[in-house]
Amino acid sequence: MPTLSITKAYADGDILLESDLDEIRDALLTFLNTTKIDADNIQADAIDGSLIADDSIDSEHYVAGSIDNEHMAADSIDSAQYVDGSIDPVHLAALGQQLSSSSGAFSTVSATYVDVTNLSVSITTTGRPVMLMLLGTSSNSFIATGDNTSDDSGGNLFKFLRDSTGICETQYRIVASGGGASTIGSVLPPSCIQHVDIVGAGTYTYKLQAKSAAGTPDYIQVNNCKLIAYEL
pLDDT (0 to 100) of residue 123: 97
Nearest to 101 by CA among 66, 150, 139, 72: 139
CB 139 within 8 A of CB 226: no
* Cα distance between residue 19 and residue 161, in whole Å: 97
* Cα distance between residue 147 and residue 220, in whole Å: 9
Q: Give CATH for domain 98-231.
A: 2.60.120
pLDDT (0 to 100) of residue 181: 47
Per-residue pLDDT reduced to its tens digit, 108-152: 989 899 999 999 999 999 999 999 999 999 999 999 887 765 555
* Cα distance between residue 231 and residue 150, in whole Å: 43
Q: Does the pLDDT value for residue 218 go beyond 80?
A: no
pLDDT (0 to 100) of residue 40: 80
The winner for highest mean pLDDT among 24-28, 94-98, 187-191 is 187-191
* Cα distance between residue 135 and residue 122, in whole Å: 17
Which residues, other chains included, contact 139 with Cβ-Cβ below 8 Å and sequence gap of 6+? 102, 223, 224
CB 204 within 8 A of CB 231: no
* Cα distance between residue 150 and residue 155, in whole Å: 13
Please state, in angstroms and as integers, the Cα–Cα distance from residue 77 to each residue in 70, 90, 165, 207, following that order: 13, 19, 38, 39
Per-residue pLDDT reduced to its tens digit, 4-23: 777 767 777 778 788 888 88
Per-residue pLDDT reduced to its tens digit, 176-211: 545 444 556 788 899 999 999 999 999 999 999 999
pLDDT (0 to 100) of residue 116: 98
If you average pLDDT over every residue of the chain, what do you get? 85
Q: Where are the domains of the chain?
A: 98-231
Nearest to 171 by CA among 161, 160, 182, 159: 159
Nearest to 180 by CA among 201, 209, 143, 151: 151
pLDDT (0 to 100) of residue 175: 55
Average pLDDT over residues 26-36: 84
**Three-class SS of residue 162?**
strand
Give exposure, 68-88, as e/b (b: 16+ Cβ within 10 Å): eeeeeeeeeeeeeeeeeeeee
* Residue bearing the bigger pLDDT, 174 or 193: 193
Per-residue pLDDT reduced to its tens digit, 32-73: 888 888 878 888 888 888 888 888 888 788 888 888 888 888
pLDDT (0 to 100) of residue 92: 74
Furthest CA-CA distance within the chain = 136
Q: Which amino acid is at 158?
A: F
Q: What is the pTM of this model?
A: 0.64
